[in-house]
Structure 1
Amino acid sequence: MRAVLFDRDGTLVHDVPYNGDPALVRPVEGAAEALRRVRAAGLATAVVTNQSGIARGLLTPERVDAVNARVQELLGPFDAVLHCPHGPADGCACRKPEPGMVLAAARRLGVSPAECLLVGDIGADVEAALAAGARAVLVPTPVTRQEEVAAAPVVVPSLAEAVEVALAAARERS
């Protein structure tokens, strides 16, 4: 394991639907410490986030970039930040659960998808990781459906515990 990819909304920060306001960004409990541990272990980090608000006309790419910048101000720099601007009906290859963003993040980080672990809060995150050949850890929130929890290969109750899974996987490979 050489890289940990994170979903943004609901995983790293509290989910504010179609958020285009950096002032509304609030990290989830333990996010800063979890990311500090990942970085201290020498693992690359990336954010992979669906932002259909762009396709729906509710957000501009600039607003998404501003929110992503605020996430990095609060949680430290990521080696890559990717977003999918498409809507569910657009048929793109990047929108999770499709694997495109995971594959693109791996390329940007200079690692293979098999060397990545994606941490997310819904089934689409898990599906995207698995479709790309990466590992996945689900951290359920109140919006996570029970069938998504049942289908996930690894489920943990917190971001801190998801990072423990990633660090253990990194130690396995070294």
Structure 2
Amino acid sequence: MKNIQAVFIDRDGTIGGTGHFIHPKDFTPYPFSKTAFQLLKDNNIKMFAFTNQHRISRGEASVIDFYNEFKTYGFDDVFICPHSPSEGCECHKPKPGLLLDASRKHNLDLSKTCVIGDVGSTDMLAAHAVGAFKILVLTGWGKKSFNEYRHTWESVQPDFVAENLLDAVRWIINKR
């Protein structure tokens, strides 16, 4: 983990919210999230948003709404799947399309990146597919994902289970 090039961070349930869709104008990060973002910046680790937002396909928000939200948090880039799960795209997590796009765009070795998210069956499986480090946070859907729904991603082990985003970022920095 010494050469971590970037961290991919899920939005709903990881940065803030409940795990359910909240429009960017109404979304509030958890109190510790901005500290986590600053720690990544202070340690020169790029941070990328990595999120499924199928409500975009239903016209309930726009890609620009999310892009602008992530930019206010200081993200280096934003990778969003706007499609519904039924569309069969390559970018809807657990498929690794968002990570592969980021890899091409930013010349990343995905085995030197971390994915932080609250859902094993999407975030952790996408990370596993590209060989990224996997950190499950227990906020949002995290506790249920790790306990009640573990069978949906039982073939994959997280590298770390964190209480929250700040705990995850501190773990990454300490492992460097």
Q: What TM-score range do you get, normalising by the shorter chain? A: 0.7 to 0.9
Q: Are positions 1:155 and 2:153 aligned together? A: no
Q: Are positions 1:91 and 2:94 aligned together? A: no
State the 1:53 CA deviation: 1.0
SS across alignment from 2:28:
coil
In the TM superposition, what whole-angstrom CA distance separates every residue of 1:125-146 from its partner, at most 9, and x where no partner exists?
0111111121110002353321
Indicate the residue corresponding to 1:165 in structure 2: 171
Q: CA RMSD in A?
A: 2.1
Matches for 1:6-155 after TM superposition, within 5 Å: 6-15=9-18, 17-22=20-25, 24-55=26-57, 57-61=58-62, 64-73=63-72, 75=73, 77-123=74-120, 124-141=122-139, 143-144=141-142, 145=145, 146=147, 147-148=149-150, 152-153=157-158, 154-155=160-161
Aligned amino acid, residue 36 of structure 2: A
Q: Are positions 1:4 and 2:7 aligned together? A: yes
TM-score by length of 1: 0.84
Aligned residues: 164
Aligned amino acid, residue 47 of structure 2: T
Gaps of 5+ in 1: none
Alignment identity in percent? 30
User: Structure 2: how far apart are the matches of 1:121 and 1:135?
Assistant: 14
1:47–1:21 CA distance, 2 compared to 1 (3 A): closer
TM-score by length of 2: 0.83
Contact 2:24 2:69 in 1 (8 A): no
User: Structure 1: how far apart are the matches of 2:64 and 2:15?
Assistant: 16
